[in-house]
Structure 1
Amino acid sequence: MKRYWRGLIGPGALALAFSAGLAQAAVDNVAQRVEQLLAQMTLEEKVGQLNQLSGKEFTGPATDKVRSMEAEIRSGHVGSMLNIKGVADTRRLQALALQSRLRIPLLFGLDVIHGYQTVFPVPLGESASWDLEAIEESARIAAREAAASGIHWTFAPMVDVGRDPRWGRVMEGAGEDSYLGARIAEARVRGFQGARLGGVESVMATAKHFAGYGASVAGRDYNAVDMSDQQLHETYLPPFKAALDAGAATFMNAFNTLNGIPATGHAGLQRDILKGAWGFKGFVVSDWGSVREMVVHGYADDLADAAAKALNAGSDMDMESNAFSSSLVAQVRAGKVALAQVDDAVRRVLTKKFELGLFDDPYRFSSAAREQAALSDPRHAQAARRVAAKSIVLLKNEGGALPLRRGLRSIAVVGPLADARRDLEGGWIVKSNADKMASLVDAVREAAGPGTRVSYAPGCDVACRGANGFEAALRAARDADTVVLAVGESWDMSGEAKSRADIKLPGRQDELFAALRAIGKTPVVVVMAGRPLIFERLAEEAPAILYAWFPGSEGGRAVADVLFGDVTPSAKLPMTFPRNMGQVPISYQQYETGRPVRDVNNIVYKSAYIDSPNTPRYAFGHGLSYTSFGYRDLRLSSNSMRADGKITLSFTLANTGKRAGAEVAQLYLRDPVASVVRPVKELKGFQRIALQPGEQRQVSFTIDRETLSFFDRKLAWTAEPGKFELMVGSASDDIRLRQTIELAP
C-alpha cells in the first residue's frame, strides 16, 4: 500500500521511513505511531497542529492573504482548515500540506448542521419527531455526502439545552430537556461517525458548546451564563456526557463565560470534568475566535496571555484566533505553558488523524466518484421528506379541520411563506438547492391533483410591515373552499446571532389572519420557524395549526403530506411554547415553590402572574394526531425496590381511532421529598409506537436506581430512599396513568 507520510532520518532522530517495504507490524498501534511522530516534531510544528484556519478566501482570487496561508500550510504550521469543501479544493490544499517537512495531513472541518446537500429539518424540528432512528439516519446521510466531498469533521451536534426561545440557537439543538437531548445527542453522534472513525462515509462529530451556552442571560447570543453547579450538572451537562459515551471524537467549547470564567479558558470544565472525571480522549476545539475573545471578556491581558490560558485550561485547537500560532511557542519558552501540555494537545489531534486513516491516504475522503454518487442518490431526498413529515407537530385540530379532503373545488394557499423555498431550509446551509425545491403551494398543487384549482397570494413578505398585499390574498381566499395560511419566520430570523427580544409572529402577520377571518374564511395555519413563537390570536381562533419548523429541502411536500393525511402527524414538542413574553424562559421541568398555584381562582400571595396564567400555550411533549390513543391497565412488577433492584412498569397502549398512527408514550418521574428539591416532573423515558386502527400493544419501561438518581448538594450521583411518583402520558401536561413506588433504605 502506498504511504503518504514519511518521517525524517537524521542524527538523533527516530527512523520512520514509511514505504511499501516497511513492515506494517511496526506501526499498527496508533498510540505508538503518534509517539514516533511526536518525537520528530519541532515546537513550531507541534503548535502548527493546534492551529485551525478558515479557507473561505481560497474560493476567491489569489490574494496576499491566500498566498500567506498557503505558505503556512506548506511549512506545517496549520493542522486543520474549515470552510473548505468539495473534492477539488480539499485535494489541492491537502497537496500543500504534504509538501511540509513531516507531511502531516490536514483535517477539513465544516458546519454540517442538518444536511450537506440534502437539507433535513433544522435540529430542533428533527427533535420534535422523537424518532431516534430517523435522527440517526439524517446524520448518516449528511455524513455520507460530506465525507465524499472531502470533509473529515462536522461541528455538530449542538447539544446545548435551551429553555429561552429568544435565543436564536435553540434552532440548532434538541430543546429544553436534558434526557431527550441526551438520547438525541447519542443518535446524532452515531449517525455522523458510524461504527468507527475512519469509514469513508463517516465524519468526526463535535459535541458543542461546552458548556452552559444555552442559558445565556436574557436569551442573548454570546451573553454571560451564571448558574449553580447543581443546575450545571443536573440540566446542562448530561447531553454532553451522553455524546462522549456515544464516542464523540471532539468537543467544542463555548463563547460564553460560566460564572465569570470564559468557557475557552475554563479548566474546571475542560480539564477537571471533561478530560479528568469523564476521561475524554479526543480533542477540544475552540469556537470561532473564542480564544481571542477572552481579551475582550477582560479575562486575558492580550492575545499571548489568552493563548496560554486557553491551552492550560484544556483547549487543544484554536479556531481562527491566530492566538496559538502567533504566541504559543514564546509562551512555552517563557515557561508560561508546559511543553507537556502542548504535547498532550498535539497527541490528541494526531490520534484522530491516524484513526481517520489520513496518514495512509490523505485523499481517501476526496473521491469524485463517491461525491457524485452521494450527491445524486434519490434515497436521500426520500429520507428528507420522511423525516420532515415526522417532525411536523399538529398543535390544534378542532372539528376535524385536518386532514384536507381531496376533490375540493379550490384551495387558496396564502401568506408570506406560502411560496417560500429558501426559507424552508433554515440556517446553516452548505449547498442550497432552493431553485429546485417545491414550495408549499407547489406541493399542495401536486397533492390536490388536477381537479382542484389552487390559487396563491402572499399577502405580505415575512417582515409584513404593511397591508398593501392583503386584498389580493383576500380575493384568492373568497373563492376557495379551503384556505391554508403559511406564516412564521424567514430563514435568517433564527440561528446564531439571531436572538429576538420579541418572538411573536413578525410584523402584521396575525392581522392577515384576522382579515381572512373577517371575510368568513378561517384558515388552517402552517407555521414555519426555527424556534417556538408566540401567536395567541391564531392559537385561540384557528381551527387547526401545523408547526412545521424549517422543514428542509423536501419540507414543502412533507407539509402537504400531513395536510392531506398521507402522513398522520406524530411529532411532539421538544420545547415549551409560551403564551407571552413575560413567561420566558419557561420549561415544564420547573421546581416547586413554597407558594404554588393549586387553584387558578386563588392566586393571591401565590407564585403567579396577575395578568397571565402560569401554564404555557403548548406544553413540552404536546402533539396531536389524526387518530386517538388510549392508555390503560398500568401494572408494576413490584411497588418497591432495593438499590440494586429493578421494577418493570407496563401498560396497554391502543389505537382507538380510525387511522394508522404513531404515539410517543412518555414516562415522567417526581421525587416529592429529597435532600435537594427536585423538579415537579422529569422525563425519564419515551417510546415511539406505530399502531394500526384497533391495534393495541403492551408497553414497558424499566425503573432502576439510575432512573431515580440525581446530583445531591455535594454533586454526588445518588438515589435516596423514599417514595417516587411515576407518570405515563401523551405530553407533560397530559398524564394518563400514575403510580407510586418506593426505594427501600
Structure 2
Amino acid sequence: MTPDYRTPGLPPKARTADLLPRLSLEEKVGLMFHTVIESGANGTLVETAGALSKSPTSTVVLDKRMNHFNVHGLGTPREAARWANALQSLALQTEHAIPVTISTDPRHAFTENAGASFAARGFSQWPEPLGLAALDDADILEHARIARAEYLAVGIRLALHPQVDIASDPRWGRQFQTFGADAERTTRAMLTYLRGFQGDELGPTSVACVTKHFPGAGPQRDGEDAHFPYGREQVYPGGRFDLHLAPFRAAIAAGTAGLMPYYGMPVGLELDGEPVEEVGFAFNRRIITRLLRESLGFDGVVVTDWELIHDNVAQGQVLPAKAWGVEHLSPAERMLKVLDAGCDQFGGEECTDLLLDLVRTDRVPVERIDESAFRLLELKFRLGLFDDPFVDEEAAAEIVGSAAHEEAGFHAQASSVTVLTDDGLLPLAPRAGQRVYVEGMSERSAEAWGTVVPRPEDADVAIVRLPAPYDPRDDLLFESLFHQGSLDYRPGLVSRLRSIAATTPLIVDANLERPAILTPLIEFAQTVVGTCGVSDDALVAALSGRIPPRGRLPFEIPRSMDAVERSPEDVPNSTSDPLFPAGYRLERPAR
C-alpha cells in the first residue's frame, strides 16, 4: 500500500505528518543544514572538497543525510540541469528518498561575489535589484517571472532573495541587492517580486523565496557590513526599528516561504520598553520567537545566514564565525542558542554530528528537531519535489538565457539608466565622422557612436564609465568583494576628468552600487548618469535614445562624506542638503 506521503493528491501537511515519524534522527537532523555545493565539469557531481564546499557531494547527501544546498558555480544551462538531476538521483538512494532543495543567491545581474551574488552566466542578464528599483513594478514583475522560469528549468527551487533591507546608511556595502532607501518603494517592489517568483500561492511551479535579512540589516554602525567583525553592530540612533521591520511585515502577509535573519547584533535597542539582548539576530530569542513567531505569526522556514557556528576557511583566508555577541561560546553552545532563538536551519554549516550529539545527550529534545523538520519537509511537499524533482535538459537549454529573455533583460538595463544632469549632449546619436573617446567601456560598443580615438582632445565627445568608489580591503575571506568605506572619488581621478572636460564634452556614467559623492563631477561634466547593472551596449542604447532612459534614484545622493557621517545610520535619505533626492531623474534634459 502506498504510504500517504507518497500520495500526490493529499495536502502537504498530511503528507508531512505521515513522513516525519518514519524518519530516523539522522534524517531529521540532515534537514536542518543548508550548505554550499558546487557542480562539476559537464554537469557532474563534485566528489572532492571544492573551493568553497566543505565535503564531497556523496558525503553530505548519503552520510550526513543533507538535502538543502546553495549552489555556487554552474555550467551551461544544459549542464546545470544535468547536475541537478544527478543530485536528485543521488538523493533517491537515501532511506526515504527525500528530494533535494537547490537554492541560490541572485544570479541574473552583474556582481560576482561568492558571499552575496553571482554574475549571469548563461542566465538572462538584468540590472541589479537597485537598478530594478529604479524602474516600474511591471519591470520587476517581468524580471521575476523570467528568473523564475529559468530557475525552474535548471532545478533551482529556492531563491535566497529578495533582499528587502532599507539602505539607510549610504556607506553600506551590501545595498546593491536591495531596492533602495525608501521603505514604501521597497515594500511595493518586494510584493511584486514575491508574486513573480512564488505565484499566487506556493506550488509545483513556484520558486520559493527566502526574504532577507530580518528584521532589517540596513542600520549598520558606520555603514560597515556584518559579514565582518568590525561591522557586527546595528544601531538605531533615530529610533527607526519599526521602519526597517515594515517590509518584512508585508512579506509575511504576502506568504513568503522563508525568512533569513542577518548577522548583525542590535545595540541599545528596546522593544516594548524591554532591552533586546545584544547578540546576532539568529541567536536572539526576543527577535525570532517573540517578535517573528509570536507577534508577527510567521510559521514558515527561518534559515540562518551563513557560518554562525564555525569559522569559514577557504582560498587561503579565514572569515570568523559570525557569532556576534556570543563569540565566547563553543560551537555546541552557539547551536543551542540558535535553536532556542527559534531558527529552523543552519546556513553554511554541515556539522550534523554536533546536533546529533546534542540530541543524544538530552541537551536538545527530539520534539524541537521535529518542529523544524516539519516546516522544512512541508515546504518540499508544497513545491512538488516529492512528486517530480527532475528537470528536462533540452528544455533548460531552450529556456535559460533565451533570446526573448535576453532582450527583456537588455531593455530593462537600458531603461534603468538614470539621467542626473545634461547640458545638451543627450541623446547622443550615432553620426558619420563623429569621434569618441571612452574609458571603462569596450571600444566595440562605443563604435556605435562613431570612430573611437585614443586621446580625449581628438574627440568630439568623451564617455567615461566609473566604478563605484570604495576603500580596498583584503584581509578576511570575501572582504575584497564587499565595497565599503568612503564614497568619495580619489582626487587624482577627479582632477584628470576635469582636464578631459576642459577640452572635450564629457559624459560620466557613475556606478551607483552605493550613493557615490558626485558633487565634484557635476561641476565640470556636461552629462552625468547613474547606473546599477547596465552593460556597455545597453548604456549605448540608453544614451543614444534608442531605448529611452527612465530610471529614478533608489536613494538620495549625498553632497559630501561629512554629511553622510553626520546622518543617523537607521534614518534613510537623511543627509543634509543632498545633491539629488531619492526618486530624482532629470525629466527634461536641456537641449
Q: Name the structure 2 match of 1:80.
A: 68
* Separation in 2, partners of 1:276, 1:45: 28
The answer to whether the Cα contact below 8 Å between 2:265 and 2:324 also exists between their aligned partners in 1 is no
The counterpart of 2:127, out of the listed 99, 121, 125, is 121
Count, aligned residues: 537
The answer to whether the Cα contact below 8 Å between 1:331 and 1:337 also exists between their aligned partners in 2 is yes
CA RMSD of aligned residues (A): 3.1
Mean alpha-carbon deviation: is it higher for 183-192 or for 333-342? 333-342
Q: Name the structure 2 match of 1:735.
A: none
Residues 593-646 of structure 1: per-residue CA shift (max 9 Å, x gap): 9xxxxxxxxxxxxxxxxxxx9301111111113479xxxxxxxxxxxxxxxxxx
Aligned partner letter, 1:445: E
Q: Name the structure 2 match of 1:489.
A: 468
The answer to whether the Cα contact below 8 Å between 2:221 and 2:569 also exists between their aligned partners in 1 is no
Q: Name the structure 2 match of 1:211.
A: 215
The counterpart of 2:433, out of the listed 387, 404, 409, is 409
Give, in angstroms, the shift of residue 64 of structure 1: 7.1
The counterpart of 1:620, out of the listed 582, 585, 589, is 582
Residues 357-412 of structure 1: per-residue CA shift (max 9 Å, x gap): 1111121xx221221111252111111122112211111123x2222244353131
The answer to whether the Cα contact below 8 Å between 2:509 and 2:528 also exists between their aligned partners in 1 is yes
Matches within 5 A, 1:269-348: 269-292=287-310, 293=321, 295=323, 297-298=325-326, 301-323=329-351, 325-348=352-375
**Matching of residue 367 in structure 1 with residue 392 in structure 2:** yes
Over the matched positions of the two proteins, sequence identity in percent amounts to 26
**Matching of residue 63 in structure 1 with residue 42 in structure 2:** no
* Separation in 2, partners of 1:283, 1:591: 29
The alignment partner of 1:163 has SS state of coil
Give, in angstroms, the shift of residue 67 of structure 1: 7.1
Residues 327-355 of structure 1: per-residue CA shift (max 9 Å, x gap): 22332344433333221111111011001
Greater length-normalized contact order (CA 8 Å, ≥ 6 residues apart) = 2
The counterpart of 2:411, out of the listed 374, 379, 386, is 386
Give, in angstroms, the shift of residue 492 of structure 1: 12
Matches within 5 A, 1:562-573: 562-573=542-553
Q: Name the structure 1 match of 2:526.
A: 543
* Separation in 1, partners of 2:525, 2:414: 21
Q: Name the structure 2 match of 1:698.
A: none
Q: 1:625/1:587 Cα in 2 relative to 1: closer, same or farther (>3 Å)?
A: farther
* Separation in 1, partners of 2:325, 2:553: 36
Aligned partner letter, 2:24: T
Residues 75-126 of structure 1: per-residue CA shift (max 9 Å, x gap): 4620311116511211112112111111111111111254551121111122
Q: Name the structure 2 match of 1:111.
A: 105
The answer to whether the Cα contact below 8 Å between 2:418 and 2:529 also exists between their aligned partners in 1 is yes
Q: 1:590/1:146 Cα in 2 relative to 1: closer, same or farther (>3 Å)?
A: closer
Give, in angstroms, the shift of residue 31 of structure 1: 0.7
* Separation in 2, partners of 1:229, 1:245: 28
Matches within 5 A, 1:220-619: 220-222=224-226, 223-228=231-236, 231-259=239-267, 260-292=278-310, 293=321, 295=323, 297-298=325-326, 301-323=329-351, 325-363=352-390, 366-398=391-423, 400-407=424-431, 409-415=433-439, 417-419=440-442, 441-446=443-448, 448=449, 453-457=450-454, 475=455, 477-489=456-468, 498-506=482-490, 508-518=492-502, 520-551=503-534, 555-584=535-564, 586=567, 614-619=576-581
Matches within 5 A, 1:134-173: 134-173=139-178
The alignment partner of 1:205 has SS state of strand
Give, in angstroms, the shift of residue 18 of structure 1: 6.8
* Separation in 1, partners of 2:470, 2:414: 19
Q: Name the structure 2 match of 1:44.
A: 26
Q: Name the structure 2 match of 1:739.
A: none
Mean alpha-carbon deviation: is it higher for 71-80 or for 162-171? 71-80
* Separation in 1, partners of 2:569, 2:282: 31
**Matching of residue 197 in structure 1 with residue 202 in structure 2:** yes
Q: 1:29/1:166 Cα in 2 relative to 1: closer, same or farther (>3 Å)?
A: same
Aligned partner letter, 1:121: P
* Separation in 2, partners of 1:367, 1:510: 52
Q: Which has the larger radius of gyration?
A: 1
* Separation in 2, partners of 1:412, 1:250: 50
The alignment partner of 2:201 has SS state of coil
The answer to whether the Cα contact below 8 Å between 1:176 and 1:587 also exists between their aligned partners in 2 is no
The answer to whether the Cα contact below 8 Å between 1:285 and 1:319 also exists between their aligned partners in 2 is yes
Residues 472-511 of structure 1: per-residue CA shift (max 9 Å, x gap): xxx3x22322222222339998998514222223573322
The answer to whether the Cα contact below 8 Å between 1:136 and 1:187 also exists between their aligned partners in 2 is yes
Q: Name the structure 2 match of 1:639.
A: none
Q: 1:306/1:353 Cα in 2 relative to 1: closer, same or farther (>3 Å)?
A: same
Give, in angstroms, the shift of residue 172 of structure 1: 0.8
Q: Name the structure 2 match of 1:631.
A: none
The answer to whether the Cα contact below 8 Å between 1:210 and 1:252 also exists between their aligned partners in 2 is yes
The alignment partner of 2:335 has SS state of helix
Instruction: Give the TM-score, by structure 1 length.
Output: 0.67
The alignment partner of 2:174 has SS state of helix
Residues 561-605 of structure 1: per-residue CA shift (max 9 Å, x gap): 221222333221111111221111558996999xxxxxxxxxxxx
* Separation in 1, partners of 2:453, 2:165: 39
Q: 1:64/1:619 Cα in 2 relative to 1: closer, same or farther (>3 Å)?
A: closer
Residues 2-53 of structure 1: per-residue CA shift (max 9 Å, x gap): xxxxxxx9xxxxx82777xx7x6xx611111101101112222211111122
Unaligned runs of 5+ in 1: 1-8, 10-14, 420-440, 458-474, 594-612, 629-657, 659-745
The alignment partner of 1:395 has SS state of strand
Q: 1:194/1:454 Cα in 2 relative to 1: closer, same or farther (>3 Å)?
A: farther
Q: 1:588/1:52 Cα in 2 relative to 1: closer, same or farther (>3 Å)?
A: closer
The alignment partner of 1:354 has SS state of helix
Residues 402-450 of structure 1: per-residue CA shift (max 9 Å, x gap): 22244353131322x122xxxxxxxxxxxxxxxxxxxxx433433x3xx
